[in-house]
Amino acid sequence: MAKIESFRIYNVARKKLPPGRLRLIYTRSIPQLKNEWCRDPDAVETCPQCGGAVAMEAPSERLFQQWAANPRHCAVTSRNPLDRIRLLVEELDLAGETEYARAAVDYIAEPLGGHFSMTGPEESDKGSVDGEIADIAVRLGRFTSKLREAMADGRIDSKELTGIRQHARQLISEIKQAMDACGIREGI
């Protein structure tokens, strides 16, 4: 599949989503506010009813148009939220917070059943089989601890499931690195 530029995604969203749906996506109603943002410690303003963050104002139709505009053909465009998230992920990675950058990609891909996956083969970061086996043991311990924590109440919620999946992917990554240290270049 060819790479689709972010402005095209917004262009399709403007044309194909029901009227007002984009506006609804970028705003919060008071019931949503109560359920999702109550008592947000980082909120600048708070809701007088529940003490949660105040709903943000919807972007204008003009801004939606600018997000969907082709920058090669339009004089007035604006960096859309997908572009901003991409920059956030790049900045997190540059800051050494690769785990959080990958978690952001996982969060976005989760509704479609996807997750972050490195392109290309994993390379050994230890250079020895024994070093990689030690890493596998550590990752396996973290993975099983995460499973036990999640099952403590008898059920796994979506946040716990995301953490479990993340630890599972880290374990698989360590296994691939051990295979690389053995000279096996094909993936599993």
Report, in angstroms and rounded to the nearest whole number, the Rg of the chain calculated over CA atoms.
21
Q: How confident is the model at residue 43 (pLDDT cuts 50, 70, 90)?
A: very low
Calpha distance 66→59 (Å, rounded): 11
Host domain of residue 177: 129-181
Which of 98, 112, 74 minimizes the C-alpha distance to 173? 98
Residues 49 and 5 in one domain: yes
CA atoms within 13 A on the CB side of 96: 0
Per DSSP, 65 falls in state H
Q: Is residue 122 part of a domain?
A: no
Residues 17 and 69 in one domain: yes
Residues 53 and 8 in one domain: yes
pLDDT at 19 over 80: yes
Which amino acid does the sequence have at 69?
A: A
> Structural domain tally of the chain?
3
Q: Please report the sign of the dihedral spanned by the C-alpha atoms of residue 20, residue 26, residue 29, residue 34.
A: positive
φ, ψ at 29 (rounded to 5°): -90, 165
Cα 8 to Cα 4, 14, 15: the distances in Å are 7, 10, 11
Q: What value does the mean pLDDT take over residues 24-28? A: 76
Mean pLDDT, all residues of the chain: 80
Specify whether the CB–CB gap between 52 and 40 falls below 8 A: yes
Q: Is residue 31 part of a domain?
A: yes
Residues 30 and 13 in one domain: yes
**45 or 2, which is more confident:** 2
What is the pTM for the complete model shown?
Answer: 0.51
- Show the tokens assigned to 59: 């972007």
- Show the tokens assigned to 128: 């020895």
107-151 pLDDT tens trace: 888 888 787 776 667 788 888 899 999 999 999 999 999 999 999
Q: Which helix H or strand E contains 94, and what residues bound it?
A: helix 81-94
pLDDT at 55 over 60: no
Calpha distance 142→45 (Å, rounded): 38
Residue for token pair 């997908």:
82
Q: How confident is the model at residue 16 (pLDDT cuts 50, 70, 90)?
A: very high
3-state helix, strand, coil in the chain (%, to 5): 55, 0, 40
Residues 139 and 87 in one domain: no
Which of 67, 47, 49, 70 minimizes the C-alpha distance to 58? 67
- Show the tokens assigned to 16: 């194909």
Residues 58 and 27 in one domain: yes
pLDDT at 147: 93
Q: What value does the mean pLDDT take over residues 9-36? A: 73
